Chain A
Amino acid sequence: MTATRTITFTLNGAPVSADVKPHHNLVELLQTHFGLTGARETCGQGLCGCCTVIVNGRSVSGCLYLASFVDGADVRTVEALDGAGKLSPVQEAFIEASAFQCGYCTPGFILMVTQLLDEHPDPDEEQIKHYLTGNLCRCATYPEVMDAVKLAARKRKAAASA
């Protein structure tokens, strides 16, 4: 259809390259070129958070973010969080608090919660709600996510003081 272009970027710490077309978005790039399906497209409008990806340290909606824009960038996905097979404190907290049902929205929530706790290690409920307004869950696991965030904050604190 249209011209293909080669981009190079860092994906979960490793240098990679891919041939992309101008209309490919980041979700499609991750799924088709790298087999990473943790970021997934639901609304396609930047409103649900299921497609969350971290680009240069900032969360973006992969459904609206053109693949060619990550040329030269540092890209991190949910698949990077359990490095060396060890779950992150946020992931552990989501399991312990039962903060998912179907799990389709879960990677997006986990990335956002990780970023939230990086910025506010000890958030109150209002901060949590506010930070996570862009993440929707049709299974409505919001009460459990709230518990998971608080639990993750405690886990991270304990790990830091250990």
Chain B
Amino acid sequence: MATTLNPAAKAGAQVGRSVPRLEGRDKVTGRAEYTHTMRLPGMLHAKLFRSTVPHGRIKSVDTSAAKKLPGVLHVVTVDDVRKVLPHPYYGPAFHDQPILADGKVRFVGEPVAAVISADPHIAEEAVQLITAEYEELPAIYDEVEALDTNIFVHEELKPAGTFADLKHLKGAKGTNLALDYRLRRGDFDKAYAAAAHKFEHEFKTQKVLHLSFEPFACICDYRETGVTFYDSTQGPSFVRTEMARLLGWPENKVRIKVPYLGSGYGSKLYIKLEALALALSMIARKPVKIAYTFEEMFYQITRHPSTFRIKSGVDKDGRIVARKCEVFWNGGAYADIGPRVTQKSGLTAAGPYDIDNVWIDSYALYTNMTPAGALRGFGVPQLVWAYENHTDMMARALNMDPVEFRRKNLAVEGKPHATGQMLKDHPVDKVMDKVLERMEWSKPFDKGGSGHIKRGRGFAIANKAVISPTTSVAIVNVAADGSATLYCGTVDMGQGSDTAMAQMVAEILNIPAEDVRVTPRDTDVTPYDMGTLGSRSLFHMGHAVRRAAEDARDKLKALAKEVGEPEGSNIPIADLFQKRYGMQAGNVIGSGIYKPDYTPPAPGTGQSPNVTPFWMVAGSGAEVEVDIETGHVKITKLVNVVDCGKAINPKSVETQISGAALMHLGFSMFEKMHLDGGQVTNASLADYKIPGFHDLPSVLESHYVEHDQSNGPFGAKGVGEVATFCVGPALANAIDDACGVRLMEMPLNAEAVYRAIRAKQGKPLEEA
């Protein structure tokens, strides 16, 4: 390979190019490796026995019949786990989740016992033979009621100690409140009292879940000398730290290997099956695999249902002068990352608007349901659902055009955000303009006349602050033949990160991106990364990768000087190594670390001049046809626009926009996890519908505005979630425009629309 060390190609030759995915061939030939389909020699399988009650004390677990089944090697309860791991609790924010239920169960589906066998079918059969007796306790499901009840999901709160702002909760009793985040700016009460117009609404979002097509899977191979995990995880570094903590081992004895992920969308973060797999492998002294069925995903992690009470005061000119947001997050039985969702999303609850007086209270609450965590948007879609419906409702009530009303109130560049941080690289006006342009908003719109099909259109805008502060580390290794390998912990779960990172390395080393190899994640060789989450990777890891590549390039330059090459020489890299070492030998290793500047928000007010290194901005526009005789909604057009900074790989950006928007179309229009007395009643693909080919809008457009992120690597920033934000409210606004009904809760299915139409006609349907 005649790679040279001084760029001859023009800058931007690799970055900004739609490089086909580096792993494409493995994926189209069915040979890409995933944990769920992996096997190790001598591997055993584990299947789980789960709680059938939402809240109860465990009186007894009878495993005797299961143990007798031929082929069963072990039947494990928490008592057995304790013998190998004396403190069997884990969690990123709270150490509240037991490896197997410990004295109590807190949601239907909570793992109570595990069966290990060489044959997964035998393990499954044995699970059917286990019985348990519970003393049932009253359960709590509603997030608002959870704040004020005498039913407590946990006897005592157990913050993990890693987060300073949770320390005061240690040992707290008699509460379901896992975090109470506040923001105070100006004087809400005074400004609201004085406002000419006052609006108050309550919005809800339902329980939905990720449903990655590769269900959760983990294989643990424990030996006294070290432990290896083959894991479908978005955060190998965190898994390593947490497993080392459980074991009381140094991190270098814990190895996490991550093949490709059959996606994650936020579900495969922090600890999922790893702690249990570890305990089981320690007990069995063999590699043990846990691989979920589709149904079991309903008992692992979901998105937070939420209730959002929003109040705004508007002056006589249509300026929003005061806003109060009270957000209740239904975190389910274990905190997982809920407290972070509550805080890091909570700070954007007032939306992309310039409001002087803001009050935000955001509550993370425990309930007796499947735990909730991050799902493609880290809480922001739930917030936007409320504030963009609210915005349209106010505009309508004020008889103002929704475009003009928003324009009057937009928080554009140079304005302060509710946190006090000055907005920079926040082109919300450009994004909104692009949506309106693609919707042909200024042209007359045909509303459908007098028939039963009514047409309407709507749009929404939103922003999000990337979670901060977080750290990424990368290594670039240039071999003696000039080929380059990148070691980075960002997990490619389909978003195309390997390709984008390779493009950055290639840009700096002036080689084709296709020639850069990205090593599969393996914590024995891959350096630290906080996690593949919240659209942070392209920015944070991108910087680390850029620095590592620059470090390697500078070392190559130094090497050239050392061997007597003149300044600016473009000697091929391979010749350089040949000259220096007398043969094809040696390496040049560059490394890079990135952690952005950050100022913690002031306690009590949430004010900070630097709460996030970048903002994500999104807008969606929708056109719908509503059949007022059935409530059926047809989406005739859906336009999604985002600001992603500079597009490193334009094709990948486009697929992230359409993929995120279509996923959210499902959450908006029909997806819902149904619960009855704590029991999930639709835990299968037959009963929980997700978007398919026939759900595509007739017209679907994905766009990004060109706006370089001034502090981003090559001007870039993350784009994995941003197109999820506005789909729901854009559709709700369009439905209202079409037939004059406002839905305050998702999903916007035919039943909900029809009920609302009938209620408006004064002929409400009976409750089902």
Binding site for B on A (CB under 8 A): 1, 21, 23, 31-32, 36-40, 42-45, 47-48, 50, 77-79, 81-82, 87, 91, 94-96, 98, 100-107, 110, 128-129, 132-133, 135-144
Contact = CB atoms under 8 A, between A and B. Distances in A.
B693 A129 contact: yes
B215 A42 contact: yes
Interface in B566-601: none
B555 interface: no
Interface string B261-282: 1110100000000000000000
Interface string B681-720: 0001110001111101000100000000000000000000
A28 B155 CA distance: 44
By size class, the interface of chain B is 35 or more
Contacts of B211: 138
A100 B28 contact: yes
Given A1-B125, A101-B494, A104-B214, A95 B263 contact: no
B30 A36 contact: yes
Chain A interface mostly: loop
12 contacts: A36-B30, A40-B36, A47-B686, A50-B213, A98-B655, A100-B28, A102-B212, A107-B28, A136-B690, A136-B692, A138-B212, A138-B690
A67 B226 CA distance: 38
A42 B31 contact: no
B39 A32 contact: yes
B89 interface: no
A88 B261 CA distance: 24
Contacts of A100: 21, 24, 27-28, 494
Contacts of B21: 95, 98, 100
Interface of B: 18, 20-21, 23-34, 36-37, 39, 71, 119, 121-122, 125, 210-215, 260-263, 265, 293-294, 493-496, 651-652, 655, 658-659, 662-663, 684-686, 690-694, 696, 700
Given A102-B261, A142-B696, A82 B29 contact: yes
Nearest to A48: B685
Contacts of A104: 34, 212-214, 262-263
B209 to A, nearest CB: 11
Nearest to A131: B693
B663 A138 contact: yes
Given A138-B263, A138-B690, A106 B28 contact: yes
B259 to A, nearest CB: 11
B694 A95 contact: no
A102 B294 contact: no
Among A37, A100, A103, which residue has the most Cβ atoms of chain B within 10 A?
A: A103
A132 to B, nearest CB: 5
Given A103-B32, A138-B211, A43 B693 contact: no
Nearest to A107: B30
Nearest to B499: A98
B70 to A, nearest CB: 8
A110 B28 CA distance: 7
A23 B589 CA distance: 53
Given A43-B294, A104-B263, A38 B696 contact: no
